[in-house]
Amino acid sequence: MGFPETRPRRLRRTAALRRLVTETSLEPRQLVLPMFVREGASEHTPISSMPGVVQHTRDSLRRAAVEAAELGLGGVMLFGIPTTKDARGSGGVDPGGILNVAIADVVGEVGDAIAVMGDLCLDEFTNHGHCGVLGEDGSVDNDATLAVYAEMAQAQAAAGVHVVGPSGMMDGQVGAIRTGLDAGGHQDVAILAYSAKYASAFYGPFREAVDSSLQGDRRTYQQDPGNGVEGVREALLDLSEGADIVMVKPALAYLDVLRAVRESVDVPVAAYNVSGEYAMVEAAAARGWINREAAILESLVSIRRAGADIVLTYWAAEAAQLLRSS
């Protein structure tokens, strides 16, 4: 006796049936919106390589944070652009520095309605553009940088941040930051570790967004794009040092690493849909080569399907609006 004919398409016949059996969902609460704020700005400035993204003023940042909360986003990740930089990245630890006052602004505006996150790295604040302080030989001094990171974490915590995001890829950074936070009485501040952060070509537009001073590259501390197992090892190391969330960056070119990390840890996993990934879709859509809105949602669903619980994306607010209307 033969079996009845199997037809998987039966469950694709109507929109209701497709919704019923969808394996991966995308919800606003899973999305985090990265935002840039420029010190001393009187009006927001468009970023040419990232259409629709701007360098905010403090006032426009507040308004965007309120909108993000009203849309039900999971969080906002803040990046500061200072007017002056130095070799140590002093603006990152200064309580009056742009990132720290922006954190206080946003927390004062939205309270606990949305998770307020601060990028914890020195690249925006150093005149050489590297993610740490430099030694006499011109290389990044890992251990000296850890001391600055601990200071920076305490400055952000004092400003009211809910989550710090160490992104510099220094060895031991999560442990140093956790120790510093706890010693300063900030045990409740969480750490979203940029655990598997690759030396990627997809960061180009971000460098414009933060007015990067970098000459050269960061291959001595960011990961080699050819290494997947190393990404898992980095995530496990960060977890052992006290990370609350681990992250893979970039997202779309590293979905295999994202899946491997998801299968190896028991904490939430984030992925950063980076500036170059954003810019490629925007550029293709502007030329009429792809359906922009469909490509946005498909990209984000693919990151979720690979294992991300949280997605940092410049499309977060728009995606939330698209999901509401779908």
Query: What's the rounded mean pLDDT across residues 265-280?
Result: 97
Q: Is the pLDDT of residue 207 over 80?
A: no
From the list 62, 178, 249, 304, the catalytic residue is 249
Residues 154-172, mean pLDDT to the nearest whole number: 95
- Asked if residue 9 has pLDDT above 90, the reply is no
How does pLDDT run across 218-259, given as a tens digit for each residue? 777 788 999 999 999 999 999 999 999 999 999 999 999 999
If you average pLDDT over residues 61-80, what whole number do you get?
98
Which range among 149-153, 208-212, 243-247 shows the weakest confidence by mean pLDDT? Answer: 208-212
Q: Is 197 a catalytic residue?
A: yes
Catalytic residue among 197, 218, 262, 304: 197
pLDDT of residue 217: 74
Q: Which of 158, 143, 150, 147 is nearest to 178 (CA)?
A: 150
Instruction: Please give the share of the chain, as a percent, with pLDDT higher than 90.
Output: 80
- Pairwise CA distance, residues 67 & 63, whole Å: 6
Whether the Cβ atoms of residue 277 and residue 252 lie closer than 8 Å to each other: yes
pLDDT in tens, 92-110: 999 999 999 999 999 999 9
DSSP string, 177-192: HHHHHHHTT-TT-EEE
- Give 113: exposed, middle or buried? Use CB within 10 Å, 0-12, 13-18, 19+: middle
269 pLDDT more than 80 = yes
Burial call 225-246: b when 16+ CB within 10 Å, e when fewer: beebeebbebbbbbbebbbbbb
Q: Which runs of consecutive H residues, i.e. helices, occur in the chain?
A: 15-21, 58-70, 98-110, 142-159, 173-183, 204-209, 229-241, 255-262, 275-286, 292-306, 316-325
Say how far apart CA 265 and CA 193 lie, in whole Å: 13
Our answer to whether residue 249 is catalytic in this structure is yes
> Which tens digit of pLDDT belongs to each residue from 253-265?
999 999 999 999 9
CATH class of 25-325: alpha beta
* Tens digit of each residue's pLDDT (9 = 90 or more) over 124-135: 899 887 888 888
Confidence of residue 1 (pLDDT cuts 50, 70, 90): low
Tell me the backbone φ, ψ of residue 165, rounded to 5 degrees: -120, 85
Q: What is the mean pLDDT of residues 41-62?
A: 95
Average pLDDT of the segment spanning 20-40: 95
